[in-house]
Amino acid sequence: MKNLLLIVLTFATITSCSSDDEITDTTTILGTWKLTSHSDLTNLPDCMKQTKITFIEHGNLSGEIYEPNGENCDKNNLVASYEKETETSYTIIGSSTILAEVELESNKLIWTEKSSTKTRILEFTKQ
């Protein structure tokens, strides 16, 4: 009887752990993030909604930054690196200058840029 119970428990454990189970890690910065809001703007222009940044392993990131220019939409490429400060906090560095501080909140990334005269906050959601 004990052997039968052991076999049933072993089978139940093995079949409940399927490799098809989808694992979603909402606390990782890795992946592509799309701009959803900008602290300087009440409504995000359609042009800027194309802005996205992609965090890859080994502390690298790239991005496509779109900004309205009259009737046109200018695209600038971003290449930078990031350093993990805490479990949900990162420092973004470009050309040896700190560009921003980033915080993760579930599926939201909050990008804060500070200058001597202004603080600008951008919010991104994971694609």
pLDDT at position 91, please? 96
pLDDT at position 2, please? 41
Boundaries of every domain in the chain: 25-126
Residue ranges in 1-127 assigned as alpha helix (H): 2-16
CA 24 and chain centroid, separation: 13
pLDDT at position 106, please? 81
- Is the alpha carbon torsion for 67, 72, 73, 77 positive or negative? negative
Options 3.40.640.10, 2.40.128.490, 1.10.3720.10, 2.60.40.10; which CATH number does 25-126 get?
2.40.128.490
Q: How far apart are CA 86 and CA 2, in angstroms?
A: 48
Cα–Cα–Cα angle for 56, 40, 84, nearest 5°?
25
Each residue's pLDDT, cut to its tens digit, for the chain (127 residues) gives: 443 333 433 333 333 444 444 444 556 899 999 999 999 999 999 999 999 999 999 999 999 999 999 999 999 999 999 999 999 999 999 987 889 999 998 889 999 999 889 999 999 999 9
Q: How far apart are CA 103 and CA 90, in angstroms?
A: 7
pLDDT at position 3, please? 39
Q: Phi/psi at 6 (nearest 5 deg)?
A: -65, -40
